[in-house]
Amino acid sequence: MLKLLFIADPLETFKAYKDSSLAMMQAAFTAGHHVLHAESNTLCAKHDEIFATCKEILIHVEKDPWFEVVQEGLQNLKNFDAVIMRQDPPFNVEYLANTWLLSQAKRMGVRVVNDPSSLRDHSEKISILEFPDFVAPTMVTRSLEQIREFHAIHQDIVVKPLDGMGGMGIFRVNQDGLNLGSIVETLGEYGHRSLMVQKYLPEIKDGDKRLLLIHGQPVPYVLARIPQAGDIRGNLAAGGKGVAKPLSAREHEIALKIGPILEKRGLSIVGLDIIGNYLTEINVTSPTGFVEITQQTGFNVAKFWLEQLEQSLKN
C-alpha cells in the first residue's frame, strides 16, 4: 500500500465528471492506496525539509461532494512514497517557487512526479523547438517587425502568448493581416513579452489532438479536440468537442521519438498537442484528457498511469 500526495488546486474546484487529477486519485484510492491532497500554497520549508498541509481523503464519485476528509495536518513530504505535482498553470513566480521547494524535497529523497527541475526547464510551448522535424514553421520573438515578416511569408498565422492555457489569448491572422499590429502590441505588451507565432494549420478542423505519454509510453488513443463553429481553438476549455481516436502512424512516430527523451528527464506525465502531422505544444504541468479517452474507448488511462507508477517505485 502506497502513500501518495497530490499537489493540486482546491478539491472544491475540481470538475468531478472530467477531472484528470481526480481520475488519478480515484485509481489510486480504488487500488487501496492512501490518497492525500495538498494545495500548492501550503508548501513550506523548515530548515532543509519540506512540508505541506495535507488532507487524507476518501473518494466517493457518486456522491456530492465526491470527497471526504478523514485527517488533515502539516506533514513532511518525506513521509510519502510519491508526490504528484498537478498544480494547474499559469507558470508564474509562485509556481516557480513551488518547484524550488519540491527540488529541495527531491534532494531529501522524495519522489516527485513530474520532476520539479524539469518542470522549470521545460516551457510547454518553446520546448517543441527541440524537435524541429515534427514542428510547423514557428517563431518566438518580441518584435512586431519580425512577426510582420513571418506573416508576409506564411500569409495565414497564429499568434499566442507563451504562458497561456486552455486556448487563452490565441489569435489567427489570415492573408489580409487585419489587426496584426494591434494583436501583437496587446499580447506582447508593446515588445515587453515574447510571443509564439506559427503557420496556421487548416488540419485544426479535424482536431487539436492530445496524445498522452505515461512514463514515456503512448496511450493508444488521442483525444481530438475539435473546434466548434466560429472558433479556431479546439481546447475543451474553449468549447471544443473531444473525440477519442486511435493513434495514427505519424502520431506513433512522434511519441516513440519524444517519449523516451522526456521520460529520462523525469517527465512521466506528458500531453503532446498535435495538429495534422505537426507537434504544437508539450504539456507537462497538469495534462488532461484521461477521463474522455477512458469513457470513449474503455482504455483506463488513470489505471495505466498508476500501474506504471507502481512499477517505477519498485525499481
What are the catalytic residues? 125, 160, 210, 225, 233, 273, 281, 283
Q: Is 47 exposed, middle or buried (0-12, 13-18, 19+ CB in 10 A)?
A: exposed
Residue partners of 27: CB distance under 8 A and separation at least 6: 300, 302, 303, 305, 306
What amino acid is encoded at 292 in this protein?
A: E
CA 205 to chain centre: 22
